[in-house]
Chain A
């Protein structure tokens, strides 16, 4: 595999990993934060539509 092909493959894989990694990590942090806060807030104040 040539150097340019290697760069191309790394950049393609990197772009998909960055996208899924960043959005996935953010999503997980929001979910975990919500679960942590739910233990503090009384049930009658956490009713979703």
Chain B
């Protein structure tokens, strides 16, 4: 009996010391490879574009970050719907993780776009349709995170955030289609959503490498953020249990001081 117990304990792998696992290490490795390729081709190997010149190198970062942000926002919307249906912590944590990572990538997208605008238009910002709808989208998801930070009962907070997560996703197709629906300064689709991309060869390779790298990094971050959120909830539960135990001991009549 004792021998069996020792054997099972020795074969069981130790608990992880963080949010990493074998799966995240493999995923991170792939992301790193694609990032290295994207840097090599995006900054050094691919030639300047005939129309955009060297500013196409900003687009190699701008497009992958916005696609990663869209993916994170879609995950938040799906998780929000699933939370309202299932009412489980998993969907709430996944939704909030997606919103946080989406805000990060979308904020980076806007900064990259502003830098591209400075070179191309001569200004960092113009209140044209794509940029205005993008600003509204970012503010909506910052609102999601702000609501999440308001102290409230976890279920009430999760319900509020789930509703915002579903409402906010409506703005994603509006942002994406803004260049088709309204006349503005922002250029139309270059690669994604076009049958005949306006770039080819090493430029297209650089773009797709950066795109795959961006999506892999987004998924990698999402897993780590989800696990960190899960650990934070468990730590919070432990703190609550400890506080309740201390309170119970304080109010216990069988203590030496009370006697």
By a beta-carbon cutoff of 8 Å, the part of chain A in contact with chain B is 7-9, 11-12, 14-16, 18-19, 22-23, 26-27, 30-31, 33-35, 37-38, 40-49
Contacts and interface: CB of A to CB of B under 8 A. Distances in A.
A11 B118 CA distance: 8
A35 to B, nearest CB: 4
B234 A15 contact: no
Given A19-B108, A44-B15, A46-B16, A8 B227 contact: no
Contacts of B61: 15-16, 19
B253 interface: no
B18 interface: yes
The residue in A38, A44, A47 that gathers the most chain B C-beta atoms within 10 A of its C-beta is A38
A22 B222 CA distance: 15
Contacts of B116: 11, 15
Given A11-B58, A38-B17, 14 more contacts: A11-B115, A16-B39, A23-B105, A23-B108, A26-B104, A26-B221, A30-B225, A33-B232, A34-B20, A34-B224, A34-B228, A37-B231, A48-B227, A49-B21
Contacts, number: 113
B204 interface: no
B70 to A, nearest CB: 16
Contacts of B163: none
Interface of B: 14-21, 23, 39, 42-43, 53-55, 57-58, 61-62, 65, 101, 104-105, 107-108, 111-112, 115-116, 118-119, 217, 220-221, 224-225, 227-228, 231-232, 234-235, 238
Nearest to B24: A48
Contacts of A22: 104, 107-108
The main secondary structure of chain B at its interface with chain A is helix
B21 A12 contact: no
A38 B108 CA distance: 30
Contacts of B65: 19
B19 A34 contact: yes
Given A7-B119, A8-B119, A15-B61, A33 B228 contact: yes
Given A15-B112, A18-B111, A31 B58 contact: no
12 contacts: A11-B58, A11-B115, A14-B115, A15-B57, A15-B61, A15-B111, A16-B57, A34-B224, A34-B228, A34-B231, A43-B15, A46-B15
A26 B225 CA distance: 10
A37 B228 contact: yes
Contacts of B235: 37, 40-41
